Structure 1
Amino acid sequence: MKSNARILTFSKRLKGISILFMALCLFSSCVGDGGRKGRPFIKDFSVGAGASAFCTEAYRVQDATCAGVCPGIPDFVTHEATPAEISSTITTVQNDTTLTTSEKEEVISNINTAAKVCLEGSGIARPNNAIFVKKDFCSCVQGKKDIINNCDQFCATTNDQNATLHGSVTLGPEVELNEQLGNLSNWCTEEINELTGPSCVLEVFDGTNTDQLSITIPPGSNTFTASIASLAFNKTYVAKIVEVGSGSNATSSNFQIYRVPQDDGTTPINTPLKILPSSMYSCIFRDGQQGQNNTFENAARVHYFFASNSTPPPMPANNVFDICHDVNVHGTIDSPTTPRLELIPQHMALWDFSDIRFADTDVDGQPDINKLIQDRLLSEYNETRTVGLFGLLPWQNYPLAETNPNLGFIMQAFIDPQTGRGFCPGQEEYNGSTGDNLFRVLKEIVGVDTEGLFMSEREPIVIPDGQGGFNLAPADFLMIREGQLRKIWFYFENNQHFVPDEVTSSSKTIHFYWPPDEVNPYVKKSHQQTYTIRAPEDLGQSGATSGLNTSIRPPDKRFACIPALD
């Protein structure tokens, strides 16, 4: 071989090529290629200078020698180059100005005729982004959870005296199928190539500073623990496992840690908001002449609502015009234990106002839950936003009520900025389909799918007064949840009932018949009345208000979101 000394000097400069391709192996599998095998062999590589003979076995670029294999020896740990590495090596040779033309031709000829080309290094890189931390990680202190996650049951089985993070990982195929690696422990500790002394840390970033915490990984396992007692409470940290000892800096997937103080009875609870069913019942408004046995020929039905844990008071015995219980079953005298007339115990669900997060402890006129959401957006996502999602819903609970008691809390309805349509969030939004961090926070605070709440107004009814005249019956306003409304709603055109869709539910006037008949909802029975969906500000206003809107509402007239029952 010609000018071996100069070629050997050049081969040392090719060391960078191997390192470069070890980095490329982070993105694609580096597997030995046997595609160059099968070429005719020249019997003797080390012939005289006049002979035209090149390597047909394994050409080692490092020392410009020819051998049968690419072995690992003390001076040179080598691997069989891939086609991409070979191509890059040839390009490097062609561009090298320290070699003569004949020297370049000799190196390239040896590369081209060799059955395989050997480059420095094992060819195996520590895979990056191939370790995935499972979402069920927990941090525990004295049997209680220390972070926001579903950890109560797990932490009850531990006895950590200090905040200790427990986690596990899944492996990408480039780790799992690698005989030298195969688990998290080996990924952190196995020496690869010339990179020695590998070890891992838990790296945490708070948006400004980065810290490295010690991590413990049992041999041969995919689990880890780390003390996180040094991390601050109520601050979001982005964490990942990083191999730093050998300098590879390969990392796992990211995960978030948010420490919270131990619950001493005064700290906010982290379970989803409490839910309280709301019931609906009817009262019969009677008018006209009173006949024998206290009977009236004319009457109209009016609906009332109450929180299921707060039954309304009975009607006084001297009130003969409003009947709120079944007099045929329970007699004419009402009592606190008498069931309400046409009672629907779980007509809908609201959020329970007894949940301490709905209190106004800072006396700012808002339930604390709104500020809690606001603070979490700032601490976890660095977003400053004024939040006023939750508000009270008061409603008349019986005919003689002088004030309207609270039914519970409702959540503001949302409008899709792209379609302009109203919606109430569910798992799709909680899991990030909109890209809005508000829904990620609501996933933990609300936790359940929600549905729209609508208001409706009954068609006007007149009642004969028994003296040849008529009286207008009291208006009846009925709240109905989205899940039930969609089973019975319609709009009416050209003497036909049509079922609304996403578009017509906003562009048409929507009606339904009540009491509902979900089997045959579009035939009005003699006992049914027609109700029309109205925006709250349109109730009792002949179906429409005048002037400019002072608030933005979804076009389908939903006025709130509540926990879904369906």
Structure 2
Amino acid sequence: MKTQLKMTFTLLFFLTTMAGCILSGDDALKNRPIIKDYSIIKKNSKYCIDLIDPLASTCYLECPDGQLPATVKEREDLLLDLKKYFQSDPEGKNLSEEEQDFRIKTFEAARGVCIVKERRPTGQVYMQPGFCLCRGNTDTGQVEPDMVGGWYIKNVAGSNNNTSSNTLINSYCKTYCNSKSEQNAMLYGKVKVGPDIQLNEKMIDLYGWCQAELADGVPSPSCNAHFYGPNGEKSEIPVAPDNISGSNFKVMLTDSIRYGVQYIMRLEVKGPTGSQPAVSTSLNFIRKRYNQNDIVLGPLQIMPISQYSCLVRTGSYHNTTNEFYYLNAARLHYYYAANRKPSNLPPNERTYTCHDFQTFGENDGPSIPRFELMSHHFSLWNAQDPRFQTLQGSESPKINTLIQNDLNELAGTSGNEINLFSKFDYQVKPPTAENETTNATLGYIMQPFINSRTNTPLCPTRDDYTSSTPLFKILGDYIGVDTEAIYFAEREPVRYLVHEEGAYSLKETPTDVILIRQSELQKIWFFYENGLPITADENASYNRTINFFWPPDYDYPLTKKAYQRVYTVKLPENIGKASTTETPTATSSRDKRYGCIPKLSEPK
């Protein structure tokens, strides 16, 4: 009898204990997804009040191996991440509002959140510019660029002493691709890693970031290249370990990466369950098949432009000796393309001289150097390049149409009228006879761009050619080199005293204009403040009248010497005007730049 009572009491105690673990109806359904082992949850709450995972889907008495409770700050961030998960992640958005609310309340009720303390850094793998997409070309038998921007230019040789019209240009991606033997479409890239990777002995570089096993519960980690196209298009391509070397990598593209479509690509490593992957920064590209003509012509040819001086003189004949005496002189500046030196001045020319007459005598000659010659003062695009030929019935050069067609192809439109390049004519010598034509085409110039966000003028550089802007990517093919602004500057008025018919009077010398490139101007520019010259900067160039002394003294640009004159940067339409009351238009350059030209390499 005692034995039977003892067994009955034991059974009742077991059933009573189990009753505390049994829920019915909606409560049972709501608790099912969050509970992994309900026996660890205290019986007086339907929410987990011990430890949970970041998605509030699992409850623990102790954190799993490799995980620790989050700090207060980390927990605040995790709660924000959980709410974002419900709003934007496809998996989280599919949960019912009731389930989402239950998880947030569970998160708030729990005493701690278990997280992986050893995490693969995200956002610390930085894609570097100058990546190349290459593919074997059956027409040429070589591996050629396979992307817009594939004619990205690495260097442009040249200095202030370079007189050659054949400026050396090296196409980086063409040279790089030609050195490869892989015929399949292959993206070659390089990264830099941040300190959290570089100083971690398990990772150190890109290879380690992709492959190193950490205490985060991710077995056999690896990198995948993720490609994001228009309209939500996504592709994922594994990056084999032997395609990563240090901080260099290559990805073999599949047919899913289409031509004429802009893609954003980044590397990703899968993270622990319930967490986001570790990602790199991104690069973007557009695939393009090059035809043989593209390969032969390459980037637009560049032409060095020379600057020299002529003296305009006044004087009179001596009554007794009949010799001519010069009384006043002033400099005027002229320009010519390296392949089109202007003709000499005629013999016995009195008003102008364009050479050192004290050394070489009064008469000019073909072997006599120009006065104060600067043989590579700036560069323009070579007018002899066949892509600057004008099309029949149009004054616009062919290059504008080529760029327009490429842009229309990428955008899938028929609009996008392009008129970037225009002919640049200028006076190459002083006039010495009536009806003499002294203007000639120096080359071609590109109109400046306007940054729509900052409303500041822009001449594109190689950073722009590798940006996400399709037009700049196309320009990278045709230009490749960095560009810079060119400015017009007018000399201050110079007056001289003359004696005519028994009376003295003041006369002004002819207006003198200098063309100056941005990189040179920024070494010597200033503005006046209370009568004192103050070094200018980019902001001042938008809001102040910019001046400089010429000839330049780069060591002491703010001190005027006896041989220097003051020049003022102006728009061409304001040359010869003491002041202007014109209201700038939307297309006017805020810093008065006239256009964009190939940036000149500074001499070392």
Give the shorter-chain TM-score range: 0.5 to 0.7
Does residue 404 (structure 1) correspond to residue 432 (structure 2)? The answer is: no
Task: Give deviations 1:483-536, integer Å, cap 9, x for gaps.
Answer: 555566666687x443364576666655555445564764462x5555444431
How much has 1:312 moved relative to structure 2?
Answer: 0.8
Aligned residue among 69, 76, 82 for 1:83 = 69
Aligned residue among 467, 481, 484 for 1:450 = 484
Are the aligned partners of 1:459 and 1:532 in contact in 2 as well (CA < 8 Å)? no
Are the aligned partners of 2:261 and 2:410 in contact in 1 as well (CA < 8 Å)? yes
Aligned residue among 234, 242, 245 for 1:210 = 234
How much has 1:311 moved relative to structure 2?
Answer: 1.3
The match for 1:157 is 179
Q: Secondary structure at the match of 2:292?
A: coil
The match for 1:237 is 263
Does residue 553 (structure 1) correspond to residue 588 (structure 2)? The answer is: yes
Residues 506 and 133 (structure 1), Cα distance of their counterparts in 2 relative to 1, 3 Å cut: closer
Does residue 227 (structure 1) correspond to residue 227 (structure 2)? The answer is: no
The match for 1:104 is none
The match for 1:537 is 573
The match for 2:169 is none
Are the aligned partners of 2:271 and 2:278 in contact in 1 as well (CA < 8 Å)? no
Does residue 138 (structure 1) correspond to residue 170 (structure 2)? The answer is: no
The match for 1:39 is none
How much has 1:405 moved relative to structure 2?
Answer: 0.9
Q: Secondary structure at the match of 2:326?
A: strand
Are the aligned partners of 2:303 and 2:338 in contact in 1 as well (CA < 8 Å)? no
Residues 306 and 459 (structure 1), Cα distance of their counterparts in 2 relative to 1, 3 Å cut: same
Aligned residue among 307, 310, 321 for 2:337 = 307
One-letter code of the match for 1:447? V
Q: Provide the C-alpha distance between the structure 2 equivalents of 1:23 and 1:157, rounded to a whole number of angstroms.
A: 49
5+ residue gaps, structure 2: 1-12, 24-30, 38-47, 76-109, 137-141, 153-171
Q: Which structure has more RCO (C-alpha within 8 Å, separation ≥ 6)? A: 2
One-letter code of the match for 1:218? D
Q: Provide the C-alpha distance between the structure 2 equivalents of 1:241 and 1:403, rounded to a whole number of angstroms.
A: 59
Q: Provide the C-alpha distance between the structure 2 equivalents of 1:343 and 1:236, rounded to a whole number of angstroms.
A: 47
Does residue 345 (structure 1) correspond to residue 370 (structure 2)? The answer is: no
Are the aligned partners of 2:525 and 2:536 in contact in 1 as well (CA < 8 Å)? no
Q: Secondary structure at the match of 1:334?
A: coil
Q: Secondary structure at the match of 2:369?
A: coil
Does residue 14 (structure 1) correspond to residue 35 (structure 2)? The answer is: yes
The match for 1:108 is none
One-letter code of the match for 2:35? L
Residues 4 and 363 (structure 1), Cα distance of their counterparts in 2 relative to 1, 3 Å cut: farther
Are the aligned partners of 1:298 and 1:463 in contact in 2 as well (CA < 8 Å)? no
Residues 471 and 340 (structure 1), Cα distance of their counterparts in 2 relative to 1, 3 Å cut: farther
Are the aligned partners of 2:491 and 2:513 in contact in 1 as well (CA < 8 Å)? yes
How much has 1:169 moved relative to structure 2?
Answer: 6.0
One-letter code of the match for 1:14? I
How much has 1:306 moved relative to structure 2?
Answer: 1.2
The match for 2:533 is 498
Residues 442 and 246 (structure 1), Cα distance of their counterparts in 2 relative to 1, 3 Å cut: same
Residues 183 and 4 (structure 1), Cα distance of their counterparts in 2 relative to 1, 3 Å cut: farther
> What is the correspondence of 1:60-459 to structure 2 with a 5 Å cutoff?
79=65, 82-83=68-69, 135=129, 137-140=131-134, 141=136, 142-147=142-147, 148=150, 150-167=172-189, 202-208=225-231, 209-213=233-237, 215-218=239-242, 225-228=250-253, 230=255, 231-241=257-267, 250=277, 252-253=279-280, 254-262=282-290, 264-266=292-294, 271=299, 274=302, 276-289=304-317, 295-301=324-330, 302-317=332-347, 319-356=349-386, 358-360=388-390, 364-370=394-400, 387-400=418-431, 401-413=436-448, 445=479, 447-448=481-482, 450-459=484-493
How much has 1:152 moved relative to structure 2?
Answer: 3.7
Residues 195 and 418 (structure 1), Cα distance of their counterparts in 2 relative to 1, 3 Å cut: closer
5+ residue gaps, structure 1: 25-59, 71-77, 89-110
How much has 1:340 moved relative to structure 2?
Answer: 1.3
Larger Rg: 1
Task: Give deviations 1:138-172, integer Å, cap 9, x for gaps.
Answer: 33323333333643444333212232234466678
How much has 1:255 moved relative to structure 2?
Answer: 2.7
Cα root mean square deviation, aligned: 5.8
Are the aligned partners of 2:534 and 2:558 in contact in 1 as well (CA < 8 Å)? no
Residues 479 and 240 (structure 1), Cα distance of their counterparts in 2 relative to 1, 3 Å cut: same
Q: Provide the C-alpha distance between the structure 1 equivalents of 2:286 and 2:596, rounded to a whole number of angstroms.
A: 28
Q: Provide the C-alpha distance between the structure 1 equivalents of 2:428 and 2:290, rounded to a whole number of angstroms.
A: 40
Are the aligned partners of 1:462 and 1:472 in contact in 2 as well (CA < 8 Å)? yes
Q: Secondary structure at the match of 2:427?
A: coil
Residues 293 and 334 (structure 1), Cα distance of their counterparts in 2 relative to 1, 3 Å cut: farther
Q: Provide the C-alpha distance between the structure 1 equivalents of 2:560 and 2:128, rounded to a whole number of angstroms.
A: 54
Q: Provide the C-alpha distance between the structure 2 equivalents of 1:387 and 1:324, rounded to a whole number of angstroms.
A: 40
Task: Give deviations 1:6-44, integer Å, cap 9, x for gaps.
Answer: 8699898534999983779xxxxxxxxxxxxxxxxxxxx
Task: Give deviations 1:217-264, integer Å, cap 9, x for gaps.
Answer: 339966654433634444322234567999999474333233333462
Percentage identity across aligned positions? 24
Are the aligned partners of 2:313 and 2:326 in contact in 1 as well (CA < 8 Å)? no
Q: Provide the C-alpha distance between the structure 2 equivalents of 1:449 and 1:382, rounded to a whole number of angstroms.
A: 28
Q: Secondary structure at the match of 1:151?
A: helix
Q: Provide the C-alpha distance between the structure 2 equivalents of 1:181 and 1:322, rounded to a whole number of angstroms.
A: 69
Are the aligned partners of 2:308 and 2:334 in contact in 1 as well (CA < 8 Å)? yes
Q: Provide the C-alpha distance between the structure 2 equivalents of 1:181 and 1:486, rounded to a whole number of angstroms.
A: 41
Are the aligned partners of 2:493 and 2:509 in contact in 1 as well (CA < 8 Å)? no
One-letter code of the match for 2:427? Q
Are the aligned partners of 2:243 and 2:250 in contact in 1 as well (CA < 8 Å)? no
Residues 144 and 558 (structure 1), Cα distance of their counterparts in 2 relative to 1, 3 Å cut: closer
Between 202-211 and 438-447, report the one with greater CA deviation.
438-447
